[in-house]
Amino acid sequence: MKNCALITGASRGLGKAIAIQLALDNNLHILINYSSNEKAAEDTLNEIVKNGGTAEILKFNVQDKENVDKALDEWFAKNQDKFISVLVNNAGITRDGLFMWMPEKDWDDVIDVSAKGMFNVTQKLIQPMLRKRQGRIINIASLSGLKGVPGQTNYSAAKGAMIGATKALAQEVAKRNITVNAVAPGFIKSDMTEAFNEEDYKKLVPLNRFGNPEEVAHLVSFLASEKAAYITGEIININGGIYS
């Protein structure tokens, strides 16, 4: 049975780098999820294939349980020779603004993509992992979820929820040989941080620069590997030395 990795939000940024790295390091068939940017998802696919890996695109909106269930049920039906052994819950959005003026929709959307999205996809994939007694779940949280960042109350709440859920779920499923960990990046170069002036914000970072998506991808790839079999329930910072 071929082992696969599903990375949500793998069309761009961190998810794209993680998808490419997991294919290179772990001999996994990659499922590239995205919500709207098909061209970017195809770019991820082409890069994996160029490196000698295999991948396919699986479009769904992580916020929408019906949409997630339908896409994954169809995939399961067509791929009985494959097993999704690695899940990376990476899809995330920001809608920054001061809490006192925050529209309810901005609160809901940010929490629904990160925290509800994690529920929707993980609950679907954990059933076969439990049956097979094998699995790696890696949640992409954030420094915001540990420290709390002003102007990001919604995002800090969403990522804080992922962190709590990571610790609880890790203990529920450890007996079945499934590990659940989170990665908490600081400032990483991507479309999400494009509007941030690196010259100003890097002053907050002891290493004096933003991180690259590839640096996060190496950490995720390690957590997804056999070498990380005894690490579970951890929240691993990758932020250039910022203490949370």
Cα–Cα distance, 184 to 44 (Å, whole number) = 23
Closest CB 100 distance from ligand NAP, rounded Å: 23
Q: Which helix (H) or strand (E) holds 180?
A: strand 178-185
- E-strand stretches of 12-70: 29-34, 55-59
Structure tokens at 30: 């990659």
Closest CB 85 distance from ligand NAP, rounded Å: 21
Q: Which is nearer to ligand NAP, 132 or 167 (CB)?
A: 167
Sheet strands side by side (includes 178-185): 55-59, 29-34, 2-7, 82-89, 135-140, 178-185, 235-238
Q: Which is nearer to ligand NAP, 46 or 171 (CB)?
A: 46
Q: Which is nearer to ligand NAP, 31 or 93 (CB)?
A: 93
* Phi then psi dihedrals of residue 53, to 5 deg: -95, 180
Cα–Cα distance, 208 to 146 (Å, whole number) = 21
Spot the catalytic one: 34, 155, 230, 243.
Answer: 155
Contact positions toward ligand NAP, by CB under 6 A? Answer: 8-9, 11-15, 33-37, 40, 61-63, 90-93, 113-114, 140, 142, 185, 187-188, 190-193
Q: Which is nearer to ligand NAP, 88 or 173 (CB)?
A: 88
Closest CB 7 distance from ligand NAP, rounded Å: 9
Respond yes or no: is residue 34 known to be catalytic: no
Q: Which helix (H) or strand (E) holds 2?
A: strand 2-7
Closest CB 116 distance from ligand NAP, rounded Å: 10
Closest CB 102 distance from ligand NAP, rounded Å: 17
Q: Which of 15, 9, 57 is closest to 213 using CA atoms?
A: 15
**Contact at 8 Å (CB) between 29 and 55?**
yes
Q: Which of 69, 120, 108, 90 is closest to 22 using CA atoms?
A: 90
Q: Diameter of the chain by CA atoms?
A: 52
Q: Which is nearer to ligand NAP, 11 or 166 (CB)?
A: 11
Residues tagged active-site:
155
